[in-house]
Amino acid sequence: MDTTDLATPRRALAVGAHPDDIEFGCGGTLAKWAAAGCDIHHLVCTDGSRGTWDAAEDPAQLVVTREQEQIAAAAALGGTSPVTFLRWPDGELEAGLRQRWQICAAIRTIRPDVVVGHDPWKRYRLHPDHRNAGFLVTDGIVAARDPLFFPEQAIAPHRPSTLLLFEADEPDHVEDVSTSVDTKIAALLEHRSQLRTTMHVSATDTSREEELAAFATRIRERLASTGATSGFDAGEAFKRMDNL
Ligand SMILES: [Zn+2]
């Protein structure tokens, strides 16, 4: 990889489309930074109301459950600040001006050194929420840094120093997460209502432990192969953008 390991930021803001995207995309990096004293912030764009294979599930209850799980996952990573929920309908997130306004306000309020989000340019991506959440981050950064964008917010502009994009189409930066693999897995497992759809843990009997172990093994193997590109035991890869 071209670069590895940013200096630990004072504050970092991670933006995900759904509950669990941040943990999958950059949970190890956030946990490592939090352990080193970084103030990590989560912002989740949608309400997670459609992420189920069970048509009988109550979407309103699912929203409440997903938010509770996301709060627990952020805490598991070492986050001590409240999670920001924008609550756009799952599957219908648009990269529009109202959403950009919200991301801009969050960046100006939280004032992160580093922003982390989905790569909107990842090719052959199916889910529109991931693509649009990515564009909201890039567009929100442009708005947040210049005072004549959304001046009615009456919050001082803020320019982050670095943007890291996960699920990157052309990754060029790796963070060493050797010390935070277990924390990332623990945070992912807080998303209990998504165990079946995203973690392939469906059993309720004794084989559940085996399925959970298999999930943890898959995560470890993925982090190990990413880390190997940079000589780390475990790594998370990003597209890095500076000079924002
Ligand atoms: Zn997602």
Q: Tens digit of pLDDT for each residue in 173-226?
A: 999 999 999 999 999 999 988 887 777 777 666 788 888 999 999 999 999 999
Per-residue pLDDT of 125-147, as tens digits, reads 999 999 999 999 999 999 999 99
CA of 147 to the centre of ligand 1 (A): 32
Domains in the chain: how many in total? 1
The confidence score (pLDDT) of residue 20 equals 95
CA of 48 to the centre of ligand 1 (A): 8
Which residues constitute the domain of residue 238?
A: 3-242
Task: Say how far apart CA 23 and CA 73 lie, in whole Å.
Answer: 8
CA-based max dimension of the chain: 59
CA of 160 to the centre of ligand 1 (A): 24
CA dihedral (155, 160, 165, 169) positive or negative: positive
DSSP for 190-221, written as a single string: T-GGGHHHHH-----STHHHHHHHHHHHHHHH
CA of 25 to the centre of ligand 1 (A): 10
CA of 154 to the centre of ligand 1 (A): 32
CA of 20 to the centre of ligand 1 (A): 7
CA dihedral (178, 32, 65, 17) positive or negative: negative
Per-residue pLDDT of 149-162, as tens digits, reads 999 999 999 999 99
C-beta neighbour count of 75 within 10 angstroms = 15
CA of 67 to the centre of ligand 1 (A): 14
| CATH code of 64's domain | 3.40.50.10320
CA of 131 to the centre of ligand 1 (A): 10
CA of 24 to the centre of ligand 1 (A): 9
For the entire predicted model, the pTM comes to 0.95
The confidence score (pLDDT) of residue 203 equals 64
Which secondary-structure segment (H or E) carries 68?
helix 59-77
Specify the residue for token string 């219908």. 92
CA of 41 to the centre of ligand 1 (A): 17
The confidence score (pLDDT) of residue 98 equals 98
The confidence score (pLDDT) of residue 115 equals 98
Per-residue pLDDT of 4-53, as tens digits, reads 999 999 999 999 999 999 999 999 999 999 999 999 999 999 999 887 77
